[in-house]
Structure 1
């Protein structure tokens, strides 16, 4: 039994006339007759009576009709849903993000996407860059917003934005009085950095920035999230170099100053599995407001 047999049955059951049913199906009458015969052979019951009075459903045909129509409707719905999923209109998007994305308009981006695609469920989780990479590889995320483009071969990415690094200092720190802070002025300060385990690439970049200006930072504490780093600075436990987005976090006790130098900026990338379905990912990236991350 094939779906074409069911469609032939449905048309004939409604028209009760081979000529009209064949016309409706855009086929000639002989192939329609063959299809009905094949269907009856497959079912093992006569579905139509044919005589000089015309065509009518048998009792078996009446019983078969409801189930046949339900199967056709289910198949049509399955096709519609498959097309909608491919087009990014329905489904579930599992999105990972680094904390700085919240300060760069991620909420507005999510709202813009949900307004366009209300039937898509978006599940968001804050993770550091390395945890997002691992989650993508385990197929636990569909899209990741992270701080590195150094990715395994199975992953691809595109840049989203870049922003400068700032000196992050405790309120009352002598260097906080400057309009711009020379990196060398932080050489003897206890540093609070993003965890090496959480984002080895990002940790190494900040260490490299310091080394390029004559010193290796004296690591005092590590945080797994940038807000933890800024909070530790605000409590007077050290200084740090952080992405400019965290100036908007509003953490009392932390002061942000531009660096006197201009190191390579902090960048955020969108990453995904190369073999992943592009539908929802493409729609989400396209929904990004101009003022967002």
Structure 2
């Protein structure tokens, strides 16, 4: 079955009218009829039930439509993407992140991306917590890597790229620092350093839970605006912070310890996009990020 005939079949399956199908595809109704008859002869059974008033899919036609539609959409998206790339010979793709491990992934992807798309560069910048979504809203970014979930109007969540175990960053002299692991219940025994920025409740409850799973209140320590403040506050003995486990490789310093959680959810890191506009090569870059993250094992 030729791609053009597949398109005719799927359009007729949507319109259920030979005239409207021909008009949409800029062909004659006889061309539509000929293509459908050819497909039915090849398959050996009717795909549509036709009367003088109605056109309906047969059960076999419904099955064929459901099987063909996802593949046809992927082919069309690939063609559209190639056409978009052809129209944009050069440019700059702008990406943001809040963590150094996300920056590492973006920079690796940028290096590969430049090799695949001559004339294009990728600029990576750090996003501050006190303006977490501003650059995306102001069209200063094309995408950003961020901890999910996100509840922000005007943004669209892309794929989750990897998941990360959580750890508790505590003062080196705290009793929890001598443990091999900690539980969410242990959060009741140490003040939790919080973000000086109001998050939607579902998001805040993940990163800064108010109570343990058994309902014990979790005390609050000082708040911060910029991440470099957090290790200093912890080292000063003012509280603890829930972090990604790999933060130990990036933020370790005297006076603090990182203890992995043995329970609770992982942190998800994914792509966040502007819901209203998208640069031509963003889908290709997102596919590359997913490719590299999958090669890393997804965690």
Same fold (TM over 0.5): yes
Show CA shifts across 1:157-206 (max 9, x none): 12222212111112232111111113333313222123333786543323
Q: How does 1:1-293 map to 2 (within 5 A)?
A: 85=85, 90-102=90-102, 105-128=105-128, 131-158=131-158, 159-197=160-198, 202-208=203-209, 210-253=211-254, 254-260=256-262, 262-288=263-289, 289=292, 290-291=295-296
SS at match of 1:197: coil
After TM superposition, the score normalised by the length of structure 2 is 0.60
* Distance in 2 between residues matched to 1:204 and 1:267, nearest whole Å: 14
Q: 1:163 to 1:135 in 2, by over 3 A?
A: same
The CA deviation at 1:99 is 1.5
The CA deviation at 1:281 is 0.9
The CA deviation at 1:118 is 4.8
* Distance in 2 between residues matched to 1:127 and 1:149, nearest whole Å: 17
The CA deviation at 1:85 is 4.9
Give the conservation status (yes or no) of the 8 Å contact 1:163–1:243.
yes
Task: Please list every run of 5 or more consecutive structure 1 residues that lacks an aligned counterpart in the other structure.
Answer: 1-81
How much is the aligned-residue C-alpha RMSD, in angstroms? 3.1
Show CA shifts across 1:31-64 (max 9, x none): xxxxxxxxxxxxxxxxxxxxxxxxxxxxxxxxxx
Give the conservation status (yes or no) of the 8 Å contact 1:162–1:268.
yes
Give the conservation status (yes or no) of the 8 Å contact 1:129–1:147.
no
Structure whose CA Rg is larger: 1
* Distance in 2 between residues matched to 1:90 and 1:232, nearest whole Å: 45
Give the conservation status (yes or no) of the 8 Å contact 2:150–2:157.
no
Q: 1:101 to 1:250 in 2, by over 3 A?
A: closer
After TM superposition, the score normalised by the length of structure 1 is 0.61
The CA deviation at 1:286 is 2.3
Give the conservation status (yes or no) of the 8 Å contact 1:96–1:132.
no
SS at match of 1:211: coil
Give the conservation status (yes or no) of the 8 Å contact 1:193–1:203.
no
* Distance in 2 between residues matched to 1:213 and 1:226, nearest whole Å: 29
* Distance in 2 between residues matched to 1:225 and 1:88, nearest whole Å: 37
The CA deviation at 1:246 is 0.8
Give the conservation status (yes or no) of the 8 Å contact 1:135–1:141.
yes
Task: Please list every run of 5 or more consecutive structure 2 residues that lacks an aligned counterpart in the other structure.
Answer: 1-81
* Distance in 2 between residues matched to 1:124 and 1:180, nearest whole Å: 35
The CA deviation at 1:94 is 1.6
